[in-house]
Homo-oligomer: A and B are copies of this chain.
Amino acid sequence: MATIHDVAARAGVSPATVSRFLRGQRVRSPEAIQAAVDELGYWPSAAAQSLKSGRTRTIGAVVPDITNPYFAAVVKGMESVARRQRYRILLANSEESSEQEDEVIADMVRQVDGVILAPATEQDQTPMHVRDADVPMVFLDRDLADGEQFDAVLVDNYDGARQAAAHLLGLGHRRIAAISGNQDTTPGRCRRDGFVETLAAAGIDIRPDHDLIGDFREASGYQLTMVLLSLPEPPTAIFTANNLMTLGALKALHDMRVDIPAQISLIGFDDLDTGPLLRPPLTVIDRPMVEQGVLAMRLLLRRFDEQYADDIPRRIVLDTKLVERASTAPPQEETELPGRRTGRTRSL
């Protein structure tokens, strides 16, 4: 591979001049240098550049799970902004594990100019690594206990859950269950709090056996829904705190031949591409996805600008929106579940 010396030799100038030309400075023989670059197919070595300059033009993106459509969309948003500014993206999955996240970040933090992180939990050590490396970081979707020191792009999880609860209450539901996410994550906690407290404010204390904690994965949505269905008095409505658990709940309800929304209403946090096409079309709390990635990347790149490098942390909180489709309805007078063997069944 051609080096800057090869280009210099061919163009009859010094490597320093080639370097200057490449960074857009005015030089005496731009044509000759450009010709040499073209003929040799020269492309600078990123390793050498970053060793020298201390900048890598690379951003680390760490998400719990890239196959979650929410995070895939977020990464796409990040990528589109980054590419336009000639930054690259180093992608890592933490698989919802703080340990894996810490490891991955420790490894990448030395070779990126900044990090965008959707933390696995609120307790991880990440900020230490990142602060040691003195690299800007933006939190996305989730926050840390001492997160206020960093830029962040979040949504109003509490209010989103409040909207969900208000919607179910408005329909007349009283026996309402929640399948929440990990309580050591911000969205996990805020969504549960927003939901439970809104019920409480309406005079309804959620029953302990209707107040279930999952882990944001599909399997836990499925299993906990099964638990709810096996209760002596199952709920007439279920709130699931993210897209994957909503899918799990939907599968469980299908498997048990529960009629949605006639027998049980279902409302989830996060929309899905297929949301309108599902049986039934899902009522959800929607939030921006690609846009969150775009905003996070902009916030991060902004920190590379001397002018803003030391600004106080900016925290962008986006609104959620209730999307009413067909999975929620007023409760039936008398709720019969097929699992209860009341004689009546209904096929979907």
Residue positions of A touching B, CB distance < 8 A: 1, 41, 43-48, 50-51, 56, 58, 61, 65-67, 69, 72-73, 75-76, 79-80, 83, 86, 88-93, 100, 104, 106-111, 132-134, 218, 247, 250-251, 254, 272-274, 276-281
Contacts and interface: CB of A to CB of B under 8 A. Distances in A.
Contacts of A88: 90, 92, 107-108
Contact of A254 (B44, B86, B251, B276): B276
A1 B93 CA distance: 26
A91 B93 contact: no
So how many copies of this chain end up in the complex?
A: 2
Given A91-B91, A92-B88, A110 B247 contact: no
A90 B90 contact: yes
B254 A110 contact: no
A83 B66 contact: no
A273 B111 CA distance: 35
Contacts of A51: 45, 47-48, 51
Nearest to A49: B47
A88 B110 CA distance: 13
A64 B90 CA distance: 17
Nearest to A95: B80
B277 A247 contact: yes
Given A45-B51, A251-B276, A254-B276, 13 more contacts: A1-B110, A44-B110, A45-B110, A46-B110, A47-B51, A51-B51, A66-B79, A67-B69, A75-B91, A88-B92, A247-B273, A278-B279, A279-B279
A267 to B, nearest CB: 16
A243 to B, nearest CB: 10
A194 to B, nearest CB: 26
